[in-house]
């Protein structure tokens, strides 16, 4: 930050005064004065995180550190005004039932689409059929709290940058999220890459084979149409993935990717095959990202990481098949821990992290 010791001391005093940070135990020092450890106060500062997906929408109440207090989900309504009304009602009820209204500092929303940074408008969300949709202001009116909205993979990349475990992050990485869709958040030289008009990172719609399965975006053979949870389920069910299929059967086929992983673990060979094929295609697509951007590592988030032991070698083979240099082929792929909610963590970070982040990434 290029500021002197005296300025740091007065900033620290100010932050302690306003309760943003607090002093903890005295640390160990080889010589000189023992340092006093400082901690960011995360308890009692709450966030509502919302993850809007094609199949379901998730709402989580958590503290600033991302510790889950409550979690609920419901079928996503594709009509923006109805979705906003339902979200408003549920968030208000959630805050009231946890006595959290006064302690909640905002709502972070992640969506499966491209978001215009300045306005918060959703430019395009192919799975939802949304183009140029604004839900931020309507939702903020419903719940009377500030609302931040962001593309889900970008939010995951931001959370990785801000809240990632120390030593597990870097200045050059790509965060790939695999859920009902597939997308990527790109961080190069410590900067999140948004592109000229906020639509960078849509690797999910890179073509693998133009004669391939239809994607929810309407085109054929997108990377997402081979690797999303929907794609993996449709491969297992032997049914073509079409936007129509996706919409009409998301309730009719009560099978989730988690169910499929359990079936595979229980000895269902076809389930294991469907999952492994997804692993291979993930590797092929990651090789394309690695060739294009040369990140030092690729983070992978989504339910499929629950089957990491079953897909890791297929992912690596897919990368090896297409990577152009030996170093690129060896790029580490780091799966998110099972049981976490990386997209909800990303939504939480939208509210919590700007309080602490350096201006260049805020
Ligand atoms: Zn597509």
Ligand 1 centroid–CA 60 distance in Å is 29
Ligand 1 centroid–CA 232 distance in Å is 15
Taking the model in full, what pTM does it have? Answer: 0.86
Ligand 1 centroid–CA 137 distance in Å is 28
**What's the confidence (pLDDT) of residue 341?**
85
Ligand 1 centroid–CA 38 distance in Å is 47
Ligand 1 centroid–CA 171 distance in Å is 29
Distance in angstroms (rounded) separating the CA atoms of residues 44 and 18: 14
Ligand 1 centroid–CA 205 distance in Å is 4
Ligand 1 centroid–CA 203 distance in Å is 9
Class of domain 46-157+344-361: alpha beta
Per-residue pLDDT of the chain (362 residues; tens, 9 = 90+): 678 889 989 989 998 998 888 988 888 877 888 888 888 888 789 999 999 998 889 999 999 888 899 999 999 999 999 999 999 999 999 999 999 898 999 999 999 999 999 899 999 998 888 999 999 999 999 999 999 999 999 999 988 887 665 455 578 999 999 998 899 999 999 889 999 999 999 999 999 999 999 888 889 999 999 999 989 998 998 887 665 555 555 555 678 899 999 999 999 999 999 999 999 999 999 999 999 999 999 999 999 999 999 999 999 999 999 999 999 999 999 998 766 788 999 999 899 887 766 544 33
Q: What end-to-end distance do the CA atoms of the chain give, in Å?
A: 15
Nearest of 226, 246, 287 to residue 75 by alpha carbon: 246
The segment(s) of the chain belonging to CATH 3.30.420.40 are: 46-157+344-361, 168-338
**What's the confidence (pLDDT) of residue 242?**
63
DSSP notation for 257-282: HHHHHHHHHTT-HHHHHHHHHHHHHH
Ligand 1 centroid–CA 214 distance in Å is 8
Distance in angstroms (rounded) separating the CA atoms of residues 356 and 38: 13
CATH code reported for the domain at 168-338: 3.30.420.40
**What's the confidence (pLDDT) of residue 30?**
79
Ligand 1 centroid–CA 340 distance in Å is 26
């Amino acid at each position: 930050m290029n500021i002197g010791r005296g300025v740091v001391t007065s900033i620290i005093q100010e932050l302690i005064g306003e309760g943003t940070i607090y002093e903890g135990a005295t640390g160990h020092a080889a010589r000189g004065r023992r340092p006093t450890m400082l901690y960011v106060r995360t308890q009692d500062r709450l966030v509502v995180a919302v993850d809007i997906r094609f199949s379901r929408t998730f709402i989580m109440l958590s503290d600033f550190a991302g510790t889950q207090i409550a979690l609920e989900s419901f079928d996503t309504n594709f009509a923006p005004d109805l979705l906003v009304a339902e979200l408003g009602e549920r968030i208000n009820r959630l805050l009231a039932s946890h006595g959290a209204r006064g302690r909640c500092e905002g709502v972070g929303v992640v969506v499966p689409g491209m978001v215009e940074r300045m306005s918060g408008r959703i430019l395009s969300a192919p799975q939802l059929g949304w183009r140029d949709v604004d839900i931020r202001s309507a939702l903020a009116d419903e719940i009377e709290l500030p609302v931040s909205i962001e593309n889900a993979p970008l939010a995951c990349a931001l959370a990785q940058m801000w809240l990632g475990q120390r030593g597990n992050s870097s200045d050059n990485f790509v965060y790939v999220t695999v859920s009902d869709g597939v997308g990527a958040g790109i961080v190069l030289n410590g900067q999140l890459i948004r592109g000229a008009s906020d639509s960078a990172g849509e690797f999910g719609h890179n073509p693998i084979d133009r004669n391939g399965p239809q994607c929810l975006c309407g085109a054929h053979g997108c990377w997402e149409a081979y690797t999303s949870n929907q794609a993996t389920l449709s491969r297992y069910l032997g049914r073509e993935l079409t936007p129509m299929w996706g919409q009409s059967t998301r309730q009719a086929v009560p099978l989730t990717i988690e169910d499929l992983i359990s079936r595979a673990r229980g000895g269902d060979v076809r389930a294991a095959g469907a999952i492994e094929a997804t692993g291979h295609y993930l590797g092929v697509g990651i090789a394309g990202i690695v060739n294009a951007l040369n990140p030092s590592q690729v983070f992978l988030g989504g339910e499929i990481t629950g089957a990491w032991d079953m897909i890791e070698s297929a992912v690596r083979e897919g990368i090896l098949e297409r990577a152009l240099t030996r170093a690129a082929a060896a790029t580490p792929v780091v799966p998110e821990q099972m049981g976490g909610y990386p997209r909800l963590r990303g939504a939480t970070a939208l509210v919590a992290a700007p309080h602490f982040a350096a201006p260049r990434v805020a």
